[in-house]
Amino acid sequence: MLRFFADDHLGKLARWLRLLGYDTLHFPAIADELLAARAAAESRIVLTRDSSLARRFPDIEVMRLADEDPFRQLAAVVREFHLDCERALFTRCMVCNSLLVDVEKETCREEVPPEAFARCHRFARCSGCGKLYWDGTHYLRMTARIAQLKEELPGIE
Ligand SMILES: [Zn+2]
């Protein structure tokens, strides 16, 4: 699977890519030299709005995003690299980029609002920061947007 490094101001795009399961680093205010060095070392594609980055760091693969809207940025990245929008959906923490681990529903009772606990089926915990995810309304809203993305981009698996 491709790995990414989202430059400054692309935090929301980083979250969307993590939602799709793509390993995406993002550090606000990281120096360009550090970003480029790490991207080169880890073979990450750098996503940026900075038109000079590719010129200044010719060793790394850079995609420049013209759009300011995070979801349209996502659509552009999905189209450019033919990303899979389903295979690894909800396998990675949107906050810290670590992998999620499915957990037994019953062990989450104390952490989830009662209505959500009654209604939801899938529970997963981040192996990095411990954040708990479940298939609630937020999840459904996001999967609906991903489905919409696929409709807008025929040819995407
Ligand atoms: Zn996490």
Residue 131 CA to ligand 1 center (angstroms) comes to 6
Q: Within this chain, do residues 38 and 105 fall inside the same structural domain, yes or no?
A: no
Q: Within this chain, do residues 112 and 73 fall inside the same structural domain, yes or no?
A: no
Q: Within this chain, do residues 77 and 16 fall inside the same structural domain, yes or no?
A: yes
Residue 58 CA to ligand 1 center (angstroms) comes to 32
Residue 132 CA to ligand 1 center (angstroms) comes to 8
Residue 129 CA to ligand 1 center (angstroms) comes to 4
Residue 100 CA to ligand 1 center (angstroms) comes to 8
Q: Within this chain, do residues 76 and 104 fall inside the same structural domain, yes or no?
A: no
Residue-range definition of the domain harbouring residue 51: 4-81
pLDDT tens by residue, 58-106: 999 999 999 999 999 999 999 999 999 999 999 999 999 999 999 999 9
Residues in the chain: 157
CATH number at residue 76: 3.40.50
Residue 130 CA to ligand 1 center (angstroms) comes to 6
Domain count for the chain:
2
Residue 38 lies in a domain: yes
Q: Within this chain, do residues 64 and 118 fall inside the same structural domain, yes or no?
A: no
Question: pTM for this one?
Answer: 0.92
Q: Within this chain, do residues 22 and 77 fall inside the same structural domain, yes or no?
A: yes
Q: Within this chain, do residues 13 and 41 fall inside the same structural domain, yes or no?
A: yes
> Which pLDDT does position 150 carry in this prediction?
79
Q: Within this chain, do residues 12 and 73 fall inside the same structural domain, yes or no?
A: yes
